[in-house]
Amino acid sequence: MVNWYGGPEVGSRLGPFLVRGVIQAGHIGPVLAAENTVARRVVALKVLRYGSSQNPGVRRWWPGDIPAAARVQDPHLVPIYDWGEVDGYFFLEMGLIRGPNLNRLLGRNRGFLTPERTVGILAQAAAALDATHRGGLVHGDIRPSKILTPPSGPACVLSLGLETLRPLVTDSSAPQHVPDFAYIAPERINETGLTGRADTYSLACVAFECLAGTPPYSATSIESLVLSHLSKPVPHLFALAPHLGFEVGEVIKQGLAKNPEDRYATAGEFAHALRQAIVPPGASHWDTVVMPYPSSATSNPELRQDS
């Protein structure tokens, strides 16, 4: 039976999968918690909305770049186990990571993370992105909700980004949300040749938000956000978070350069530069914090130490 989210009912079977719950609904289909009764593992199961397999355009495209994404192996990428078609659904079987995504983690901590926790998470996300780029792919959809932060174990990036699934989300009925455009690289807007440096830009936006409590650009409309990414001067982190020092802002400013050639060559280079600016070689744990945290942050223990 098909439910409101366009997928099989909780408790039903889909080929070898026993559906245990709904993790997230989505425009192209839900992500389900499921048990693979053959492989004997609990997984995250992405299914395209019921009837998608009968769409000639989707059928011609499927599975697109999914096999290439599955071949990219990194401890900080959510693994893709299998994909195919069963009972009228196209499906994608992925590892199930238990824990909040970075967006929820920021919400729990009033929008901030400690500098060191920020660089720890971003370094792991950068490793995943560099592995993706070495595999010949661009993620294209890096934002806090795409970075999973389990309480134990490494941070992980959801393997499938917008560029992999673009043929499924280009129809004009797809909903667009203002917050999603807070992390979009200028060249994605202009469609002027996408490289891995677009992901570095998005990661720099995430870093800015973790450290300042807000993305670099904020607006109430998609149009205003798009214009900001294209032409508005890059805000300097020092103006919002002077306690971090000037050099940290300079690193993020380079990561947010409008011209991709002016950014760091890889996401890993950006993460390394950020770590060096926050905790220089030979510095003690908190040597770089030269001013107290903003008053909005000091009441939250999560912001004063890593957990």
Task: Return d(Cα 129, Cα 76) in angstroms, integer.
Answer: 9
Going along the chain from its start, the domains and CATH numbers come out as 16-95 (3.30.200.20), 102-301 (1.10.510.10)
- Mean pLDDT is lowest, of 60-64, 142-146, 150-154, 234-238, for 60-64
Q: 47 in helix, strand or coil?
A: strand
Over the stretch 251-294, which tens digit does the pLDDT of each residue have? 999 999 999 999 999 999 999 999 999 986 655 444 433 333 33
Over the stretch 106-121, which tens digit does the pLDDT of each residue have? 999 888 999 999 999 9
- Evaluate if residue 167 carries a pLDDT over 60: no
| 141 flagged as catalytic | yes
DSSP letter string, 153-222: S--EE-S--HHHHHHHH-STTS---GGGGGG--HHHHHTS---HHHHHHHHHHHHHHHHHSS-S---SSH
89 in Cβ contact with 48 (< 8 Å): yes
* Over residues 156-172, mean pLDDT: 66
57 or 299: which carries more pLDDT confidence?
57
3 falls in which pLDDT band (50, 70, 90)? low
pLDDT of residue 56: 85
225 in Cβ contact with 255 (< 8 Å): no
The residue annotated as part of the active site, out of 141, 199, 262, 306, is 141
121 in Cβ contact with 209 (< 8 Å): no
* Entry pTM: 0.86
